[in-house]
């Protein structure tokens, strides 16, 4: 009998209440049409309805072999494993929830998802407790930075966080250390920068009040370019900048009001690359504005932030770590790792931002990076 006829007979069997006969017919139809995963989903549903969860799982596995990321099948699999009290149920819920489609879902699906989220959260908590016990002896002996990395390692394993690679849009130099936020001890000049917070804040006020100062949207590019990560903020005055250096050019209209900032910048290891660097600016983020997740152009440089005006609740995420800006507390991060920001307040947020060489680069490698990027005409500070 052809698959279509078997399906029709199965539907009649379902209508008459003969679910076991319907299972037999649909199993035959699925075997006759091996490329159609939807039939295995129907078989699984009937097995579940007739009280055969293991048979339902077997059918789902046949279907998932064809479409491994099917949300409905993954959801049913997790629910069945939970019913069977299988130890993999928590992980299965995680796999299913990762494929949750966007937009509204039927109420009955929302209820299943809510149950799945509760079960997975309990599973993650239990697993975390187990793994903490396993790493406790090592953590007792660890230094603060080691303990932080061990905690992130554990969170990556249980799924609270995930690894974030360096993915520059244009220039990737191999074998440089990839860190979301780089350790302070690598940058001895950070103390000097932080000590100048009040001076830089005063220069910010001066340049903002100056008649000829240039305040421009931070993001400006031609609409036809393939830069979708920036589209919401392209030419948007919600995120503006007062540039001191931009793509290697000193912005005299602004820089003349900020002698202390320029003095400091000249003492820091900024890349000097034709058409590309150095870059330094006061970054102004309007109230209620978010900067979407994005990555920078080159991992040969890092970026330093010194917060100057920070309303309550303003945060900055790089990869899996989120920090709240604090006035006068600088940090260095890798902008080729996905990062985003939010000013949820009703006040302006201002951060002094500039780029520096990645400390792993030797002098010879810096020369090579300078020559290569310069020969390409440089790339803007996006």
List, for residues 136-185, the tens digit of each pLDDT value.
999 999 999 999 999 999 999 999 999 999 999 999 999 999 999 999 99
Q: What is the pLDDT of residues 245-257, one digit of tens each?
A: 999 999 999 999 9
Evaluate whether residue 170 is within a structural domain.
Answer: no
Closest CA to 29 of 5, 12, 53: 5
Evaluate whether residue 42 is within a structural domain.
Answer: yes
207 with 287, same domain: the answer is yes
- Does the pLDDT at position 269 exceed 80? yes
Evaluate whether residue 157 is within a structural domain.
Answer: no
83 with 205, same domain: the answer is no
Domain containing 190: what range? 181-375
How many structural domains compose the chain? Answer: 2
Evaluate whether residue 303 is within a structural domain.
Answer: yes
Closest CA to 177 of 48, 317, 40, 336: 336
233 with 360, same domain: the answer is yes
**Euclidean distance between the first and final Cα of the chain, in Å?**
63
Average pLDDT over residues 15-36: 81
- Give the per-residue pLDDT at 222: 45
Domain termination residue (choose one: 71, 93, 120):
120
Evaluate whether residue 354 is within a structural domain.
Answer: yes
More confident residue, 382 or 249: 249
84 with 218, same domain: the answer is no
Domain termination residue (choose one: 120, 147, 162):
120
Q: How far apart are CA 374 and CA 275, in angstroms?
A: 7
Evaluate whether residue 359 is within a structural domain.
Answer: yes
193 with 342, same domain: the answer is yes
More confident residue, 166 or 27: 166
Lowest mean pLDDT among 3-7, 141-145, 235-239, 312-316: 235-239
Q: Do residues 87 and 130 lie in contact, with contact meaning Cβ atoms separated by under 8 Å? A: no
Q: How many CB atoms lie within 10 A of CB 247?
A: 16
Q: How many CB atoms lie within 10 A of CB 74?
A: 24
Contacts of 5 (CB under 8 A, 6+ apart): none
Evaluate whether residue 136 is within a structural domain.
Answer: no
232: pLDDT confidence band, cut at 50, 70 and 90? low
**Looking at residue 17, which CATH number applies to its domain?**
1.25.40.10
82 with 196, same domain: the answer is no
Q: Do residues 290 and 340 lie in contact, with contact meaning Cβ atoms separated by under 8 Å? A: yes
72 with 186, same domain: the answer is no
Q: How far apart are CA 382 and CA 377, in angstroms?
A: 15
- Does the pLDDT at position 219 exceed 90? no
**Looking at residue 362, which CATH number applies to its domain?**
2.60.120.330
263 with 357, same domain: the answer is yes
112 with 225, same domain: the answer is no
Contacts of 141 (CB under 8 A, 6+ apart): none
Q: How far apart are CA 339 and CA 291, in angstroms?
A: 9
Q: How far apart are CA 319 and CA 83, in angstroms?
A: 36
Q: Give this prediction's pTM.
A: 0.81
112 with 8, same domain: the answer is yes
- Give the per-residue pLDDT at 28: 81
207 with 75, same domain: the answer is no
Evaluate whether residue 284 is within a structural domain.
Answer: yes
Domain termination residue (choose one: 120, 147, 163):
120
Q: How far apart are CA 158 and CA 174, in angstroms?
A: 29
17: pLDDT confidence band, cut at 50, 70 and 90? confident
9 with 91, same domain: the answer is yes
């Amino acid at each position: 009998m052809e698959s279509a006829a078997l399906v029709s007979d199965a539907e009649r069997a379902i209508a008459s209440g003969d679910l076991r006969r319907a299972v037999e017919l649909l199993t035959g139809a699925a075997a006759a049409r091996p490329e159609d995963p939807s039939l295995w989903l129907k078989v699984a549903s009937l097995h579940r309805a007739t009280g055969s969860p293991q048979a339902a799982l077997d059918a789902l596995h046949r279907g998932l072999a064809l479409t491994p990321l099917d949300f409905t099948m993954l959801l049913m699999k997790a629910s069945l494993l939970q019913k069977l009290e299988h130890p993999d149920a928590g992980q299965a819920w995680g796999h299913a929830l990762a494929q949750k489609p966007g937009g509204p879902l039927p109420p009955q699906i929302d209820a299943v998802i809510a149950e799945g989220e509760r079960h997975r959260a309990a599973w993650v908590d239990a697993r975390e407790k187990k793994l903490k016990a396993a790493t406790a002896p090592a953590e007792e002996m660890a230094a603060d930075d080691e303990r932080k990395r061990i905690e992130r390692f554990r969170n990556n394993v249980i799924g609270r966080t995930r690894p974030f690679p360096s993915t520059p849009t244009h220039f990737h130099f191999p074998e440089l250390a990839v860190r979301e936020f780089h350790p302070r001890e690598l940058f001895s000049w950070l103390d000097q920068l932080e000590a100048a917070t009040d001076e830089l804040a005063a220069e910010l006020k001066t340049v903002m009040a100056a008649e000829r100062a240039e305040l421009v949207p931070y993001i400006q590019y031609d609409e036809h370019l393939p830069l979708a990560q920036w589209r919401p903020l392209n030419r948007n005055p919600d995120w503006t900048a007062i540039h001191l250096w931009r793509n290697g050019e000193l912005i005299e209209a602004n820089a003349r009001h900020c002698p202390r900032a320029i003095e400091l910048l000249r003492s820091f290891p900024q890349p000097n690359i034709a058409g590309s660097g150095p870059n330094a600016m006061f970054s102004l983020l309007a109230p209620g504005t978010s900067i979407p997740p994005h990555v920078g152009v080159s991992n040969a440089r890092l970026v330093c932030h010194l917060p100057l005006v920070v309303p309550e609740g303003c945060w900055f995420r790089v990869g899996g770590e989120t920090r709240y800006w604090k006035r006068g507390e600088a940090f260095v991060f890798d902008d080729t790792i996905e990062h985003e920001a939010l000013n949820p307040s009703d006040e302006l947020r201002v951060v002094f931002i500039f780029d520096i060489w990645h400390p792993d680069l030797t002098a010879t490698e810096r020369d090579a990076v300078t020559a290569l990027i310069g020969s390409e005409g440089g790339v803007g500070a996006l």
